[in-house]
Structure 1
Amino acid sequence: MERSLETQVSQAVDAWLRWLPRWEPATHRGRVAPCRRCFGSPILSSAGVGADVPHGVQHGLSIRMKGIVDQAVAEYTAKNLPTLQAELDQQAARNRSRSYRPGEGLEPEFEGMPMDPDPVPGAPFLFTIAGLAQEADADVPELPPLSAEAKSALRQEVGLADDYANMVGRELCAILLHHRLRVQAAIAQHVEPQIEAMLAELTRSLDAPFDGSADRGADPGPSAP
């Protein structure tokens, strides 16, 4: 599994590096709440992606790594955790029956991101994508209740799946240490110049009111006698 995991991580980093030149700073308002996937992520830290790197850049890499862990856990669950697998199969069938699934089939850079922008106080949305998805979900019947024995078995198997996910995550972090240099080099090449350009433009806009241009052509008022 170690060699396979190394290959998957290398391919995921390669895919992220191919995408990174297309990244551009967001022009809309920033998020109110931090992304739980990226904030304080040991995966990003192992890859050499600092907290000062824009979230869009972080998310594109972390979600790809999450996909690797999720796939490993899915394979482990299918082989070893029958109660959890049965519950997941029922949930997957329920999800497929929904008529509107806006969060599925997205590119990694957008997977897990908010479907709607943060609302502006005093200006409510007529509708939201998340709201439409909730309405569609309300039409799908709930899963049948579990017995006490099934709940106990499910809790135990969920714990085992979490332990396995943590183990894979630690291995993944160790592998990412070998990719730090090329990750950081790509950020320096494609991300930092755009951030520096934004800061330079902000500096110019802040300095503009004090350069005297606003006073040129203004009425000087009555002259002294």
Structure 2
Amino acid sequence: MADSIEGRVRTGVDAFLRWLPRWEVGTSRARTRVCRLCLGSPVATAAGFDHDVPHAVQHALLSRMRQIVDEAVDEYTARNLPMVARELSKGEAQEPTGYRPEQGLPPEFQGLPLDPEPDPEQPFLFTLEELATEDQREAQARAGAPDPEPTVFTEEAKKALSTELELADDHARQVGTAVCLALVEHRQRIADAIDRLVEPQIDELLAELSKALENPRSR
């Protein structure tokens, strides 16, 4: 598992570093709620982020790392935990996942790959936004259908499901630890990119704010 996780983390960091030059401090959206993904995250610590790194920048990397954990747990669940896999498939049938354009966030911010540049000689069939729109239509159609009958568990089945859930949680913790250890190896690359691309924007913003406070406009 370690080798696979290390490769996925490297790929995720590479994608983050390709995205970072396009980030601009002026485009960051204010949050009205605490981000549960980023607040107190050990992944943020492993990446070397401190309180001075803007949330949008942290979130872009942490989203990619969370996707690695989710995918690894999904793979483990599909192979080894049939009861949990069956219950998850029921929930996924009712609730679409993936890129949601109505949220106003670009796909790369959520750790998703970008659409390729259009090629007149090799057109692609649909874009991410078009695919997400089709998913929404299917979800609306499913909403009008009757809900599936709930599964009735025997006491023995409940215990078996509980055991599988504990195994899934344990595997998620193992993968999360492996992600953090792998991410530490890329801390210097991340720090160099932050110093080069993010810090100057923050310094410029603070300088403009300081200048405005020192020379307020007369009312």
- 1:128-167 per-position Cα deviation (integer Å, ceiling 9, x unaligned): xxxx99x958646444323233444333322211110000
Matched AA of 2:4: S
Shift of the 170–102 alpha-carbon distance from structure 1 to 2, 3 Å rule, reads same
Matched AA of 2:153: A
Q: Which of 176, 188, 201 lines up with 1:181 in the alignment? A: 188
Q: Which of 153, 160, 172 lines up with 1:148 in the alignment? A: 153
**1:44 CA drift (Å):** 1.1
CA distance in 2, matches of 1:200, 1:178: 33
Structure 2 gaps, min length 5: 112-135
Is the Cα–Cα contact under 8 Å of residues 20 and 57 in structure 2 kept in the other structure? Answer: yes
Aligned to 1:209, the other structure's residue is in SS state: coil
CA distance in 2, matches of 1:144, 1:51: 48
**1:51 CA drift (Å):** 2.5
**1:94 CA drift (Å):** 2.1
Is the Cα–Cα contact under 8 Å of residues 6 and 175 in structure 1 kept in the other structure? Answer: yes
Higher relative contact order (CA 8 A, sep 6+): 2
CA distance in 2, matches of 1:14, 1:101: 24
Which structure has more helix as a fraction of its residues?
2
CA distance in 2, matches of 1:13, 1:156: 34
Q: In the alignment, which residue of structure 2 is the partner of 1:45?
A: 45
1:12 aligns with 2:17: no
- Counterpart mapping for 1:1-225 below 5 A: 1-27=1-27, 30-95=30-95, 102=102, 107-110=107-110, 136=140, 139=144, 141-149=146-154, 150-209=157-216, 214=218
CA distance in 1, matches of 2:62, 2:146: 33
Greater shift in the superposed pair: 21-30 or 69-78 = 21-30
Shift of the 101–200 alpha-carbon distance from structure 1 to 2, 3 Å rule, reads closer
Is the Cα–Cα contact under 8 Å of residues 91 and 143 in structure 1 kept in the other structure? Answer: no
Matched residue count: 187
Aligned to 2:186, the other structure's residue is in SS state: helix
Q: In the alignment, which residue of structure 2 is the partner of 1:220?
A: none
Greater shift in the superposed pair: 161-170 or 144-153 = 144-153
Is the Cα–Cα contact under 8 Å of residues 28 and 56 in structure 2 kept in the other structure? Answer: no
Shift of the 2–110 alpha-carbon distance from structure 1 to 2, 3 Å rule, reads closer
**1:95 CA drift (Å):** 2.7
Is the Cα–Cα contact under 8 Å of residues 9 and 179 in structure 2 kept in the other structure? Answer: yes
Aligned to 2:109, the other structure's residue is in SS state: coil
Matched AA of 2:42: P
TM-score (norm 2): 0.75
Aligned alpha-carbon RMSD (Å): 2.8
Shift of the 199–48 alpha-carbon distance from structure 1 to 2, 3 Å rule, reads same
